[in-house]
């Protein structure tokens, strides 16, 4: 046996892992050119035969000279494995996990223009701070009609939205509260930039019927904009310090667009919420495949809560936290829900979540500089302190409220559907307004294309 270091990052966390490999026959394989598909695919095979969670169900590989993406796909345990993926550029993968991407700074959901039309429109879900879209004045709820002058349809929208990764134009509509109708806003030109998105999107405090409610919108899990940065975690700490100082007695955490990220940040956030926890309390347990589980380093791999002075402690009424979800709430977001359940009442409002109770690892080929590929194979399953991991079909909300059933209002607006539902549940007072219901089907979102969608990432070492 020999010691191999096959991946520096552990997704459901960033971590360094070293372990023994029993592949004594590797030196007998015929030599291949480092930049060839055969060399890349041989590396893929080595990684998967050691790290893949469903090791006993590993697929039969196709030709070693095949395209690496096809080769990787041939090994996966589909359809059980919905999440393992391969990326052509490992560094771009890491940047994306930290929220750094080339973009104009807006996300949207796609719908048919009407039940009887094949035309597709895009409703903007949120605008990122300090982005070209923010400078241009775009808002959540704006409706995009065309991109580069082209009308989207049910057959071409995937191709058309591909244009937003470079300079492009849009025509769009905006809802006028006075006329209660969407009005044409003309055309905008947008140029993507290398944008570092901050996951701390919005925080505010409401006092309604003598109830003090803290509300935070958190879009993904990342400690900071780059390696060795924890600026975002520090900002999250400051938000909760403010909540604590203001004496909130209810907390609403908005994960509707949160597809996951670094577990270290999930632990940080959970440690700000869970009452009475200490560094002795388990937040997360992991189970690895039959090969890795033979080694002591991969037994009882648990993550514990942090000791945080900003923790809200026992101040939350009914020992409850309200979590807003959608079908895109995934991975590290679901980890928070599952990890908090043994310690408090997690009251979910929104849609059924994605259902990812397994974790991936971003892996690079450190021995071959001509191999730029990065892998994200599933390598473990996550459990909470009570050994529960029964959410592969997602978490079912206590109250179902799909935001696509209404036109989108601004984040923080007390009439916004999911926030309104949570406030009503807290105060017991129903809203006074009338809200038009929409019958429309979600065709997809730009969020579905994010590298971080459905991921969990962590910062610790196993040696």
Residue 207 burial (CB count, 10 A):
10
- What pLDDT score was predicted for residue 234? 98
For the chain, give the longest Cα–Cα distance.
76
Confidence (pTM): 0.92
- Residues 370-407 pLDDT 10s: 999 999 899 999 999 999 999 999 999 999 999 999 99
Tell me the pLDDT of the chain averaged across its residues.
91
Q: What is the residue whose two structure tokens read 């701390």?
A: 200
Dihedral, CA of residue 449, residue 452, residue 456 and residue 460, to nearest 10: 160
Distance separating alpha carbons of residues 386 and 384, to the nearest angstrom:
5
- What pLDDT score was predicted for residue 456? 56
- What pLDDT score was predicted for residue 21? 45
The answer to whether residues 68 and 44 touch, using CB atoms and an 8 Å cutoff, is yes
Distance separating alpha carbons of residues 21 and 12, to the nearest angstrom:
23
- Residues 70-89 pLDDT 10s: 999 999 999 999 999 999 99
Dihedral, CA of residue 456, residue 459, residue 462 and residue 463, to nearest 10: 140
Count of helices and strands (H, E) across the chain = 9, 28
SS3 of 296, please?
A: helix
Phi and psi at residue 273, in whole multiples of 5°?
-110, -45
Reference 57, options 84, 38, 39, 21; nearest CA is 84
Reference 17, options 282, 361, 302, 285; nearest CA is 361
- HSE-CB for 227 with a 13 A CA cutoff: 8
- Residues 31-57 pLDDT 10s: 999 989 999 999 999 999 999 999 999
The answer to whether residues 125 and 445 touch, using CB atoms and an 8 Å cutoff, is yes
Q: For the chain (length 463 residues), average pLDDT per consecutive 10?
A: 38 38 58 94 96 97 97 97 93 85 96 94 97 98 98 95 96 96 98 96 96 97 88 98 98 96 94 97 96 92 96 95 97 97 98 94 92 93 97 98 95 97 96 89 89 53 34
- What pLDDT score was predicted for residue 460? 36
Dihedral, CA of residue 461, residue 224, residue 6 and residue 282, to nearest 10: 40
Distance separating alpha carbons of residues 399 and 421, to the nearest angstrom:
8
- What pLDDT score was predicted for residue 96? 83
With residue 458 as reference, give the H or E element that holds it.
Answer: strand 455-458
Angle at 35 between CA 75 and CA 451, to 5 degrees: 55
The answer to whether residues 404 and 351 touch, using CB atoms and an 8 Å cutoff, is no
Structure tokens at 56: 């006993």
- Residues 116-157 pLDDT 10s: 999 999 999 999 999 999 999 999 999 999 999 999 999 999
E-only strand ranges, 128-264: 143-147, 150-153, 168-176, 181-190, 193-196, 200-208, 211-218, 250-254, 260-262
- What pLDDT score was predicted for residue 462? 35
Distance separating alpha carbons of residues 407 and 49, to the nearest angstrom:
48
Cis peptide before 79 (omega within 30 of 0): yes
The answer to whether residues 152 and 143 touch, using CB atoms and an 8 Å cutoff, is no
> What are the respective helix, strand and coil percentages of the chain, to the nearest 5?
25, 30, 45
DSSP 30: P
């Amino acid at each position: 046996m020999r010691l191999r270091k096959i991946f520096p990052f552990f997704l459901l966390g960033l971590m360094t892992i070293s372990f023994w490999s029993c592949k004594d026959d590797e030196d007998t394989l015929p030599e291949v050119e480092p930049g060839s598909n055969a060399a890349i695919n041989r590396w893929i095979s080595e990684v998967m035969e050691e790290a893949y969670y469903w090791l006993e169900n590993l697929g039969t590989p196709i030709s070693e000279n095949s395209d690496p993406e096809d080769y990787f796909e041939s090994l996966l345990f589909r359809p059980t494995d919905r999440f393992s993926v391969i990326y052509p550029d490992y560094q771009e993968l890491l940047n994306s996990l930290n929220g750094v991407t080339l973009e104009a700074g807006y996300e949207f959901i796609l719908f048919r223009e009407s039940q009887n039309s094949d035309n597709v429109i895009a409703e903007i879900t949120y605008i990122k701070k300090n982005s070209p879209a923010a400078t241009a004045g775009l808002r959540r709820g704006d409706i995009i009609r065309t991109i580069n002058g082209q009308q989207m349809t049910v057959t071409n929208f995937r191709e058309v939205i591909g244009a937003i990764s470079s300079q492009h134009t849009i025509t769009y509509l905006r809802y006028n509260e006075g006329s209660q109708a969407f009005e044409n806003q003309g055309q905008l030109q947008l140029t993507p930039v290398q944008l570092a998105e901050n996951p701390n999107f919005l925080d505010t405090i409401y006092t309604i019927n003598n109830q003090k409610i803290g509300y935070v919108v958190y879009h993904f899990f990342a400690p900071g904009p780059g390696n060795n940065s924890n600026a975002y975690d520090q900002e999250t700490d400051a938000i909760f310090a403010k909540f604590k100082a203001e004496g909130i007695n209810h907390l609403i955490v908005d994960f509707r667009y949160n597809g996951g990220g670094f577990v270290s940040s999930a632990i940080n956030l959970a440690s700000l919420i869970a009452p009475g926890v200490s560094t002795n309390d388990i937040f997360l347990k992991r189970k690895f495949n039959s090969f890795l589980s033979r080694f002591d380093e991969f037994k009882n791999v648990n993550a514990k809560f942090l000791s945080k002075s900003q923790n809200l402690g026992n101040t939350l009424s009914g020992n409850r936290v309200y979590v807003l979800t959608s079908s895109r709430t995934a991975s590290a977001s679901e980890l928070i829900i599952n990890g908090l359940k043994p310690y408090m009442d997690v009251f979910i409002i929104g849609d059924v979540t994605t259902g990812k109770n397994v974790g991936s690892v971003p892996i690079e080929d450190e021995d071959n500089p001509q191999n730029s590929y990065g892998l994200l194979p599933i390598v473990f399953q996550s459990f909470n302190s009570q050994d529960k991991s029964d959410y592969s079909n997602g978490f079912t909300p206590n109250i179902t409220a799909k935001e696509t059933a209404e036109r989108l209002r601004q984040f923080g607006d007390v009439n916004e559907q999911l926030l309104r539902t949570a406030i009503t549940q807290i105060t017991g007072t129903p809203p006074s307004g009338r809200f038009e219901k929409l019958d429309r089907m979600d065709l997809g979102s730009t969020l579905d294309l994010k590298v971080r969608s459905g991921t969990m990432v962590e910062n610790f070492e196993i040696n």
